[in-house]
Structure 1
C-alpha cells in the first residue's frame, strides 16, 4: 500500500494516478452513492479541483486507487467559490444546508478543508480499516506539511466512534444534519499539537 500527495506541480510525475483518483471518486460518489455531481471522461470533479488544492491518494503499486482525499486552503478563491464548507454556509451550494456551522466559516492560512474523503467501495473488508487509517494519517501529515494547524471536514456523524482509533483530535464545528439520507457533521481536525 502506497500513498502519494498530488499537486498540479507534481502530477506529471505520477502517470495516471490523478485520473485514476477522479475515476474512483466517480465510481463511489456517482455510480455507487448515486450523487448528482459533475463528470466527464469517466471522472468526477467539481469547482474545488484547482491548482490551489492537493490530493492525498492511497493506492497499490499498479496505480489502483484504494482511497483519497482533497485538501483545499480556506484562503482559496476561484470565481465566486472559496471552499466547499464556506460556500455551503454562504448559500452557494444547493446540495448542502447553509446551517452546517455554529460560527462563520474560517478563512486563514493555517486552516485547510478536507473534502471528498473516500475509501473505494471495492476495498475488501479485511483491509478497509487499515486503508482508512492510512488515509487519515497521510492527510494529516500532508496538511501539517502545508502549514495547517486545523482541517475542517464534512463527514459521517459517526466520527466519534473512529476518531481516537486513527489518532486524530476532532471537535464538532456544527450540528449533525441529514444530507442525502445520511447524518453528517462538520468537524475540525486539530493538528496544532502535532506540528514540529
Structure 2
C-alpha cells in the first residue's frame, strides 16, 4: 500500500494515478452513492479540481486507487468560487445547505479544505481501517508541508467513532445535516500536535 500526494506539477510522474483517482471518485459518488455530479470520460470532477489543489491518494503498486481526498487552500479564488464549504455557506452550491457552519468559513494560509474524502467501496473490510488511517495520516503530512496546521472537511457524521483511531484531534464546526441521504457534519482536523 502506497500514498501519493498529486499536484499539477507532478501528475506526469505518476502515470494514470490522477485519472484513476477521478474514476474511483465517479464509481463511489456517482455510481454507488447515486449523487448528481459532473462526469466526463468515466471520471468525476468539479470546479475545485484546479492547479491550486492537491490530491492525496492511497493506492497499490499497480495504481489501483483504494482511497483519496482533495486538499484546497481556503485562500484560493477562481471566478466566483473559493472552496466548497465556503461556497456552500455563501449559497453558491445547490446540493449543500448554506447553514453548514456555526461561524463564518475561514480564509487562512494555515487552514486548507479537505474534500471528496473517500475509501473505495470495494476495499475489503479487513483493510478498510488501515486504508482510512493511511489516508488521514497523509492528509496531515501533506497539509503540514503546505504550511497548514488544520483542515476543514465535510464528513459523514460518524467521524467521532474513528477520529481517535487515526490520532487526529477533531471538532465539530457545524450541525449534523442530511445531504444526499447521508448525515454529514463539517469538522476541523487539527494536525498542529503533529508539527514536531
TM-score range, shorter chain: over 0.9
Q: Please state if 1:110 is matched with 2:110.
A: yes
Structure 1 unaligned segments of length 5 or more: list them: none
Structure 2 unaligned segments of length 5 or more: list them: none
Secondary structure, counterpart of 2:24 in structure 1? helix
Q: Please state if 1:124 is matched with 2:124.
A: yes
Q: CA deviation at 1:191?
A: 1.4
Secondary structure, counterpart of 1:187 in structure 2? strand
Q: Which residue of 1 aligns with 2:165?
A: 165
CA–CA distance in 2 between the matches of 1:119 and 1:195?
Answer: 26
RMSD: 0.6
Q: Which residue of 2 aligns with 1:95?
A: 95
Q: Which residue of 1 aligns with 2:45?
A: 45
String of CA shifts for 1:93-137, please: whole Å, max 9, x gaps.
010000000000000111100000000011011111110111011
Secondary structure, counterpart of 2:3 in structure 1? strand
Q: Please state if 1:135 is matched with 2:135.
A: yes
Secondary structure, counterpart of 2:55 in structure 1? strand
Q: CA deviation at 1:149?
A: 1.1
Alignment of 1:167-182 (within 5 A): 167-182=167-182
Secondary structure, counterpart of 1:58 in structure 2? strand
String of CA shifts for 1:64-121, please: whole Å, max 9, x gaps.
0000000000001111000000000000001000000000000011110000000001
CA–CA distance in 2 between the matches of 1:124 and 1:8?
Answer: 30
Q: CA deviation at 1:16?
A: 0.3
CA–CA distance in 2 between the matches of 1:194 and 1:128?
Answer: 23
Q: CA deviation at 1:193?
A: 2.2
Q: Which residue of 2 aligns with 1:8?
A: 8
Over 4 Å off, 4+ runs: none
Q: CA deviation at 1:164?
A: 0.3
